[in-house]
Structure 1
Amino acid sequence: MNDVVLYEIDNAIAKITLNRPNKLNAMNAKLVEELGRRVREAAEDDSVKVVLVAGAGRSFSAGFDINDEIEDGTETPRQWRPVLQKDISMTMSIWDCPKPTIAVVQGHCLAGGCEVAMACDLVVASEDAVFGEPEIQYGSGPVTLLMPFILNQRKTRELLFTGDSIDAQSALEAGLVNRVVAASDLDAAAKDLALRIAPTPLEVLRLTKQTLNRAYEAMGLRHAVNSNLEIGSLINGANTPEQQEFDAIASEKGLKAALAWRNERYDSQATS
């Protein structure tokens, strides 16, 4: 069986790759655990100065694997809290990594996948990348509330209330990504950026990352993330009729059918 997360080191650059390409790198429990472990490994390795986070195949990540939650029967706020806590811990391990991190994004970068990218210090995206947090359309909410600290208030509220996605150029204009390049140039562009950073002494990189993170945390980032865990557990455990219908369709007909039902609800409103 293939590893769900790949790890390699080359010239002081660690590359961590989400490796469920047939599932658009949807993050199941095993991938969440392995991703967090590899991030910690890179953080503790003094030969590593920069960390790349990438996705195998045609997408970076479509988010957390909904099938996990449906199969586990997760419903109540009490049941949701430990699930969300594990997901948040993984995302924040990237935020807390003492070395610069660069998300290398192509295709879908949605929901929890978008949060992983936002937890990175820098984002290089291909022209076909699509960003968004569509959780509200599932009757859910962002797991790790990072977007208010990355984008301006108006754009954050628009994206989180609607669940809409934006293309790579719009993400660049909004400040969500640093660079947009052709798909064929993505890996080279990310590596070039990492090599621009790598000559800096490791201790200087660590201290610079620390002071930047402290600036955001002084603005309340970590408090917001922790508060969102409690509220998110309530949202996911609200068990609204729409949530029940989505789960029922997914259980009986599969996730693809449930997503089609959800999309029809929102598309019909947009065109009415």
Structure 2
Amino acid sequence: MEISDPILVDRPADRVARITLNRPEKRNAMSNALRTQMFAALEAADRDPGVSVVILRGAGSCFSAGYDLSSDVRDEQPWYSAGGLGNWPRHVTEGCFRIWDMAKPVIGQVHGYCLAGGTELAASCDLLYVAEDAMIGYPVVRSISPPDNQFYPWLIGMRRAMEMMLTGDTISGAEAAEYGFANRAVPLADLEPMVLDMASRVAKIPTDVQQINKRAVHRQMEAMGIRAGIRAGTELQALSAMTESAKAFYANVRNDGLTSALSARDEKFGDYRTKAE
């Protein structure tokens, strides 16, 4: 039983709101309860005239290891998404575009694991700063499907996206910055002060101007097809989740538990929880 709040909200600097994913014992796995509170906090900050920018980070050892696969993600979703096949990937991309469409910039602060749904959340932020030794990837491609939000080709290009999609391997924070997934990578000890400094710089610009600056970049990406492309990708995710391999993985989760199923998935690669220390 969890006794902590799934998110924490504070004001670490003038006109800066900070949201912390607060399930460190679960590597900040995103249950719908956590997602409901996180989006409510994001929207409250977007409405608050005293806030100019929002920081999104994770408590404990990592940013987020992804969605909470031990729960039924169809239950108690933060907002209504049309049901039927593809409900979950559609719901996820709607959430990503909720952040995309907010008036105020959202800055992601990533350390440790940033996996699966964690990468989708990080990719939705307007600015992203990472620890050099962060581990970023989408291991779900090994057993179930491509991402719900298929951002990789847009952010890191076709060749690197293909490599990550065909292996499920991680990239380091340093590589993420080199490839264009993140703005910058720094040593972990420098990450929080750098993010706070950047947030304070962003907050100096009036919010009525800043929201147009944010949209100006997004409109160019939309003219190139990013919104349509990501939405189209939800159908491929739903199709892949119906394969025999995906069904077998879900059966392993039901029969042997999530930890065992993930270990069986990754042991042939020798990484994630199966990595030799």
Same fold (TM over 0.5): yes
1:49-93 residue CA offsets vs partner (Å, 9 max, x unmatched):
111010011100011112124998xxxxx6552222322222222
Asked if the contact 1:80–1:236 (Cα under 8 Å) also holds between the matched residues in 2, the reply is: no
The answer to whether 1:89 aligns with 2:91 is no
Query: What pairs up with 1:107-146 in 2 under 5 angstroms?
Result: 107-146=112-151
Greater Cα shift, 87-96 or 148-157:
87-96
Quick one: distance in 2 between partners of 1:244 and 1:95? 32
The partner residue of 1:4 within 3, 6, 11 is 6
Structure 1 residue 247 displacement after superposition: 2.0
* Aligned-residue RMSD, C-alpha: 2.0
The partner residue of 2:45 within 42, 46, 49 is 42
Quick one: distance in 1 between partners of 2:183 and 2:203? 18
The partner residue of 2:262 within 237, 240, 259 is 259
Quick one: distance in 2 between partners of 1:59 and 1:201? 32
Quick one: distance in 2 between partners of 1:139 and 1:200? 43
Equivalent in the alignment of 1:19: 22
Equivalent in the alignment of 2:275: none
Quick one: distance in 2 between partners of 1:70 and 1:149? 26
Quick one: distance in 2 between partners of 1:158 and 1:225? 19
SS of 1:169's equivalent? Answer: helix
Structure 1, unpaired ranges of 5+: 73-77
Taking only the aligned residue pairs, the percentage that are identical comes to 35
SS of 2:20's equivalent? Answer: strand
Equivalent in the alignment of 2:59: 56
Q: Aligned pair count?
A: 261
Equivalent in the alignment of 1:231: 236
Structure 2, unpaired ranges of 5+: 76-82, 272-277
Query: What pairs up with 1:96-245 in 2 under 5 angstroms?
Result: 96-238=101-243, 240=244, 242-245=245-248
Structure 1 residue 266 displacement after superposition: 4.4
Quick one: distance in 2 between partners of 1:263 and 1:186? 29
Equivalent in the alignment of 2:79: none
| Runs of 4+ with deviation above 3 angstroms | 69-72, 265-268
The partner residue of 1:30 within 33, 37, 41 is 33
Structure 1 residue 248 displacement after superposition: 2.5
Aligned residue identity for 1:67: S
Report the TM-score, using the length of structure 1 for normalisation: 0.89
Greater helix share, 1 or 2? 1
SS of 1:33's equivalent? Answer: helix
1:150-177 residue CA offsets vs partner (Å, 9 max, x unmatched):
1111111111122111111111211111
Report the TM-score, using the length of structure 2 for normalisation: 0.88
